[in-house]
Structure 1
C-alpha cells in the first residue's frame, strides 16, 4: 500500500477512468449497519481538487449514505481496476450530502457537465478527502465493461417532481437503522 499526499494527475486519471466505484459509510457507535453501495454512470463523479471529490446521488431504495453523513460524516470511496494494470485506490474523508432542497444544490450539480440526466438527482455527495491510498489489486478480476445501465434514468424520467418528493417521503425519510435522511 502507498499513501499519497493529493489526488494528482495519475491518480485523477485512474479514478476518472473507472466505470464504477464503491461507497462505504457507517453510523456512529457499535450498533447499526455498515453500508456499501456500488455507484456508476458516466459523468456522475468529478474530482474537484487535490483533496475534494463529489458524485451525483440519484433516488434509490434507501438513503443510508445521506443518513450516515448527517450522523458523522465518515465516508470511504474505493475504485478498482477491472481492466488494465491492477490497482485499487481508496479515498477516505468527511462527506456531506447537499440535498436538492439546499440552495447550494444547483451550483454543485452544475459541476457535472457530462451527467446523463439531472432530474433524478436527490443530492450531491461532496467529500473532503484526508487520506489517499492505493494498493496492488492483484486479486481483482479482469472484467469487460459493456456500458451503463439506463434503468434508473428511465425510472426517474417517468416521475414528476411531486412523484419524486413522495418517493423520498415513503422510502428515504430514515435509514434502515432509523437515522434521519430526508426527514
Structure 2
C-alpha cells in the first residue's frame, strides 16, 4: 500500500542517497512524454525536504528543458534494485537554470563536477509517494559508465557549446529549449 506525503522524510532521503540511478519524466502540452534514466555520481543534491537540485549534462536531446517551458511538472522515480523493496516517486514543479541565469553560480557550486553542465534543474517537491516495489527485480550494481564523462573530458568548453547548439536547441518534437536565449 502506498503512502503520499508533502515532503521528504529522513528515511526517504537515506533511500535516495543509496540509489545508483533515478528516472525523470516530463511532458509537453502536446507531444511525446519523455522518460529518462539518470545516473552519474554527484548530480542529485537534496537541499531540504522540499527542494532538490539536479545537474544535467548535455546529451543527444534536451527534452526536459523544452517540456518545462510548456508545463513545469516533473516526476522523479527511484526504485530499490537491491535490499528492501521500495519505489519512491517525487511529484514536482521544476525549472531549468542555465549559465546565463543569476543563480547559476550558487546552484552549480553544489556539484563537484561542473564540466559539460547544460542546466541545473531547480526542483520543488509537492508530493512524495512511497509504494511497495515488490515487483521490481533485484540487480547487482557493477559501476557507473565512464563513456559520458570520458567524452566530456576530451572536449573543450567551446566544443561543448558547439555540440549543444547542434543537438540541444530543439526537442525531438521540434519544441524550442531556449538553451542560449534570454
Deviation at 1:58, TM superposition (A): 0.5
Cross-structure match for 1:105: 104
1:18-37 correspondence runs (5 A): 18-28=19-29, 31-37=30-36
Work out the CA distance in 2 between the residues paired with 1:99 and 1:174: 16
1:1-183 correspondence runs (5 A): 1-28=2-29, 31-112=30-111, 115=112, 117-181=113-177, 182=179
The 4+ residue runs of structure 1 with deviation greater than 3 A are none
Work out the CA distance in 2 between the residues paired with 1:102 and 1:160: 22
Aligned residue for 1:138, secondary structure, equals coil
Aligned residue for 1:173, secondary structure, equals coil
Work out the CA distance in 1 between the residues paired with 2:77 and 2:23: 5
Deviation at 1:102, TM superposition (A): 2.0
**Contact 1:20–1:79 (8 Å) recurs in 2:** yes
Deviation at 1:136, TM superposition (A): 0.4
Question: What is the aligned length?
Answer: 178
Aligned residue for 2:7, secondary structure, equals coil
Per the normalisation by structure 2, the TM-score is: 0.94
**Contact 1:16–1:46 (8 Å) recurs in 2:** no
Work out the CA distance in 2 between the residues paired with 1:38 and 1:149: 13
Deviation at 1:90, TM superposition (A): 0.3
Deviation at 1:153, TM superposition (A): 0.8
Deviation at 1:103, TM superposition (A): 2.9
Unaligned stretches of 5+ residues in structure 1 = none
Aligned residue for 2:89, secondary structure, equals strand
